[in-house]
Amino acid sequence: MTMWPRILTLIVKELEMLLQDRQSRMILIVPVLLQLAVFPFAATLEVKNNTLAVYNEDFGRESAEVMQRFSRAQAFTRLLALHSEADVRRAIDRQEALIVLRFPPDFSRDVVAGRSPAIQAILDGRRSNSGQIALGYVQQILNAYTRERLPPPFPPAPSTLGVRHWFNPNLEYTWHILPCLIAIITSVNALIVTALSVAREREQGTLDQLLVSPLTPRMIMTGKIIPAVLVAVVQGTIILLGAVLAYRVPFEGSLPLLYGSMICYSLALAGVGLLIASVCATQQQAFLGVFSFLMPAILLSGYATPVDNMPVWLQSLDWANPMLHFIVIVKGVFLKNIGFAASLRNLVPLLIIAIATLGAADWLYRRRFAFRAP
């Protein structure tokens, strides 16, 4: 059988369908660029430009100096002065401030006397994560202040704690988000190209046209899988370039490893897409199916919150999530320069998922494709 020329014909057709008119081309490219432009800025757990409120019951010089230091911090661009308990309640209730610091009346006196006063910090429990991070900043500022105040004869601290952040020395959030985006954005189109295009062929009757031709179900499947991989690789490359050139995320690792795993990943996605399509009669259903897969896949991929924080049972379930594995590999290649051996921990599961989904799709399609209910 002259197999490859026919598969090539199928691939060319699929790509023509994708790139035929302006609107379809736009749908492939515009969301990618838009998300590339917005997400790295929006998706951040850093605390910047926030409001710090201070209820100062102390009138000394020292508390004023501490407040000076707060106003210079990047985390707090606004300082709100409060004057009563009621003010404190209001500032927190109405979310006017993320954190309220309350200096006790004898704060300055205690500092001058070399005692260790304590400041009360009231935080908004509705934003407790940001609050905790902000609290860390506050503590750092206070520590620096007290250290500088120490009179020279005072013995230095017996120990020092050096902090290093490997792979991302300044804890840039974009360094984390952009590699994740490669996985997220490519997944959307890889699924759409497979699941929705099969459903569309079924809805518009062209699938019948293919099935009465000498093309075998396997050729038809291959003709769907390869374009999906191509689309994923092209979109992945766009984000890779954007990350390196526009956002200046350092790329440390090996390109062949990145592209190899990207192909594995898109094969796994194509398998999922074909499986979704096999149970859907219409594009509408395929769309809901893609959404039902994508939403948990993205949320549980470790991109929004760390996988370690999930309960163990969910972590085990999440093993079947291809996005989880691919994100680990992309971040590893990008930031940690992991080698092939280190990537195997995630590459092998990715391959297993790809083989399982594609195998299941192949099994289903050889039965259902040719002989399905009208």
* Residue 160 makes contact with other proteins by CB under 8 A: yes
What is the x/- site pattern for other proteins, positions 1-20, by CB under 8 A?
A: xx--xx-xxx-xx--xx--x
Whole-number minimum distance, CB 275 to other proteins, in Å? 19
How many CB atoms neighbour CB 304 within 10 A? 11
Put residue 337 in one of left, alpha, beta given phi > 0 → left and psi -120 to 50 → alpha.
Answer: left
Q: Is residue 357 within 8 Å of 276, Cβ to Cβ? A: no
Residues 85-144 that bind other proteins (CB under 8 A): 92-95, 98, 111, 114-133, 135-136, 138-139, 142-143
* Residue 153 makes contact with other proteins by CB under 8 A: no
Whole-number minimum distance, CB 31 to other proteins, in Å? 8
Q: Is residue 103 within 8 Å of 110, Cβ to Cβ? A: no
Q: Can you say how many angstroms the Cα of residue 33 is from the centroid of all Cα atoms in its chain?
A: 16
When binding is defined by CB under 8 A, the residue of 22, 86, 148, 155 that contacts other proteins is 155
- 53 bridge partner residues: 80, 100
Query: Smaller CB distance to other proteins: residue 60 or 355?
Result: 60
Residues 249-308 that bind other proteins (CB under 8 A): 283-284, 287-288, 291-292, 295-296, 299-300, 302, 304-306, 308
When binding is defined by CB under 8 A, the residue of 22, 86, 148, 212 that contacts other proteins is 212
Torsion of CA 261, 255, 46, 143, to 10 degrees: 120
* 93: three-class secondary structure by DSSP: helix
Query: Smaller CB distance to other proteins: residue 187 or 267?
Result: 187
Query: Smaller CB distance to other proteins: residue 145 or 355?
Result: 145
Give the total residue count for the chain.
374
Q: Is residue 368 within 8 Å of 278, Cβ to Cβ? A: yes
Query: Smaller CB distance to other proteins: residue 66 or 267?
Result: 66
Residue 114 DSSP one-character state: T
Residues 304-343 that bind other proteins (CB under 8 A): 304-306, 308-311, 314, 318, 328, 331-332, 335-336, 338, 342
* Residue 152 makes contact with other proteins by CB under 8 A: no
When binding is defined by CB under 8 A, the residue of 28, 31, 263, 356 that contacts other proteins is 31
Residues 177-206 that bind other proteins (CB under 8 A): 204-206
When binding is defined by CB under 8 A, the residue of 67, 79, 80, 210 that contacts other proteins is 210
How many CB atoms neighbour CB 32 within 10 A? 21
* 53: three-class secondary structure by DSSP: strand
* 55: three-class secondary structure by DSSP: strand
